[in-house]
Structure 1
Amino acid sequence: MRYKIVIDSCGELLDEWKQDEHFESVPLTLMVGAEQIIDDETFKQGEFLHKVAECPECPKSACPSPERYMRAYDCEAEHVYAVTLSAELSGSYNSALLGRNLSLEDHPDKKIHVFNSRSASIGETLIALKIQECEEKGMSFEEVVATVEHYISGQHTFFVLENLETLRKNGRLSKVKALVASALKIKPVMGSTDEGTIYQLDQARGMNRALIKMVEQVIEKTADSADKVLAISHCNCPARAQVLKEAFQERMKLAKVVVLDTAGVSSMYANDGGVIVAV
């Protein structure tokens, strides 16, 4: 096998990747109260969202161990790549790096590179897709790394949340501000910085207006869109994602649009009704 792509479970897998030996998802652990939930193929989104809504505590996540990454790297592939959550949001990147360093102690000639996505969710998916594209073109390991790092530097991630409870519970939004926002039906339009942190781009009263503002932000910040793949992930709202897809296709020239449901970690942060866009 020429290559393998390891993605932490915040990144959604395309259906065709789930049975492909070139791809492996390394699960984070989700914690709702005292319960621990492994973010793997056993994750059930509906049950999880119900538990989060019922729990007064903020849901949390724990990154995979370096040893878990080591096991993923231990394969016959000539080139191994890991894609992780933004290093500014999770310890997954540092864990993957440590796993790489430990692996290289035993196999110093192994070619392993860890990509800090500076994103999350569908942003990681697009990075994995870019790695696959480069490998299928026959690029060298070094060429793939350089091409994908350049791609990451130009990628942008956006999201709009229906429910602000997780942000309130984890202290990113005050109780008063969350209450006012909910009462006035204000929806923040969020984005990621070049370093991979989260900031507010805009806001609107009502989800539909917020989605329109997000579309405008995406168009404004996306140059040469005809050559790009745009991806949408949604938490339990396929109709909303379809409306977004059609809006982008009407207003932008794009190489492709991918739509996926959020996996566990993304579901925890997006919460019921949230949508994420990366391009």
Structure 2
Amino acid sequence: MLKQKIAVLVDSCSDVPAEIANREYFEMIPMGVFFGEEEYQDRVNIEPDEFYQKLAKANPLPTTASPKGELITKALDNLSKRGFTQIIAVCISSGLSGTAQQVKIYAKNYPQLQIEVIDTKNIGIASGFAAVRASEVIEEGWEFDQIVEEVQRVANQTKVFFYVPTLKYLIAGGRIGRVAGLVGSIINLKPIISCDDEGIYYPVAKAHGEKKALKKMLQLVDDTLENAQKFNLAVVHGLNEGLMNQISTEFKNKYPNMGKFYNGDISPALGVHTGPGLIGIGVQIIK
């Protein structure tokens, strides 16, 4: 039983590993996923398997929305009822979503709670890694202010790299960011996408064909790690489990000294903007 009453609030697009997100001091707010008039709550009443089945037949393509205010309120009410008085809210990049701003607005309705919102400037597991670090230091008994400072520090040195077979879904969802310059390029040009310092998508590398693109992505991980002494890695997928497993095996052989390692699938709300076939890699440097 934890002595301190510190909780972690996350949005569904942070893709926090289930073994962490299921802890009693976690609460998730779901993004909205829309197939026409059909509305779903991300990872609540639609999971990745069902999502990709529906995506294959969808016309027009699905859309997403930031969490509704009532869902943010419900999450904060739940934590308050469970006796938590301090909350670290870990949100995906404000450059890609209005979630962080929404949480800040609704937090003002809870003067009895001390709420700090961390805009990770990242997405998917790279954002989720901030929540993983929060859970570690909460369980080590750190003070709230120290935890906030540490989570922000680590968020600033966490990177995401992802490969998508087509830019079609990013374009349709309006999340193209600085990747827009690649639209209309040679058909087999495969970009590796990351988030810049402002949390906006940009092409960090590109290659001809999937094989070369994946090789570049692995090199980017190497370059990011440099002389890191303590780090965590994750490989996630969107309907591409075989390739995820292949890359995971490579990592386990190449980095036997890494700390934690996670696999998982991306949330349906992220799948809306990336489509099937995604491979994502999260790199979290602790020191």
Q: In structure 1, what is the equivalent of residue 231 of structure 2?
A: 228
Give me the TM-score of the superposition, normalised by structure 1. Answer: 0.89
Alpha-carbon distance change, 221 to 17 in structure 1, aligned in 2, over 3 angstroms: closer
Give 4+ residue runs of structure 1 displaced > 4 Å after superposition.
none
Q: In structure 2, what is the equivalent of residue 68 of structure 1?
A: 71
Residues 35-89 of structure 1 show CA distances to partners (whole Å, capped at 9, x for unaligned) of: 3222133213233224334334343211113342233223211321111110000
- Cα deviation, residue 186, structure 1: 2.3
- Contact kept, 8 Å, 2:236 with 2:263, in 1: the verdict is yes
Q: In structure 1, what is the equivalent of residue 259 of structure 2?
A: 255
Alpha-carbon distance change, 133 to 19 in structure 1, aligned in 2, over 3 angstroms: closer
Q: In structure 1, what is the equivalent of residue 281 of structure 2?
A: 277
Q: How does 1:160-171 map to 2 (within 5 A)?
A: 160-170=163-173
| 94, 103, 118: which one aligns with 1:87 | 94
Question: Identity of paired residues, percent?
Answer: 23
Q: Is residue 2:107 matched to residue 1:100?
A: yes
Q: How does 1:3-152 map to 2 (within 5 A)?
A: 3-17=6-20, 19-74=22-77, 75=80, 76-104=83-111, 107=112, 110-152=113-155
Residues 163-213 of structure 1 show CA distances to partners (whole Å, capped at 9, x for unaligned) of: 322023235377x945x64x4x32111111122111001112222221110
Give me the TM-score of the superposition, normalised by structure 2. Answer: 0.86
Deviating more after overlay: 237-246 vs 44-53: 44-53
Give the secondary structure class of the aligned counterpart of 1:124. helix
- Cα deviation, residue 142, structure 1: 0.3
Deviating more after overlay: 151-160 vs 262-271: 262-271
Letter in 1 for 2:104: L
Letter in 1 for 2:57: E
Alpha-carbon distance change, 95 to 144 in structure 1, aligned in 2, over 3 angstroms: same
Aligned residues: 272
- Cα deviation, residue 18, structure 1: 5.0
Letter in 2 for 1:257: F
Deviating more after overlay: 199-208 vs 84-93: 199-208
- Cα deviation, residue 25, structure 1: 1.4
- Cα deviation, residue 17, structure 1: 3.7
- Contact kept, 8 Å, 2:16 with 2:129, in 1: the verdict is no
Residues 113-164 of structure 1 show CA distances to partners (whole Å, capped at 9, x for unaligned) of: 1111111111122111100111111110000011111111111111100232
Aligned mates of 1:27, 1:45 — CA distance in 2? 14
- Structure 1 unaligned residues grouped into runs of 5+: none
- Contact kept, 8 Å, 1:190 with 1:200, in 2: the verdict is yes
Deviating more after overlay: 245-254 vs 19-28: 245-254
Deviating more after overlay: 71-80 vs 145-154: 71-80
Residues 226-254 of structure 1 show CA distances to partners (whole Å, capped at 9, x for unaligned) of: 41111122111111111212222333442
Q: In structure 1, what is the equivalent of residue 161 of structure 2?
A: 158
Give the secondary structure class of the aligned counterpart of 1:68. helix
Aligned mates of 1:33, 1:163 — CA distance in 2? 22
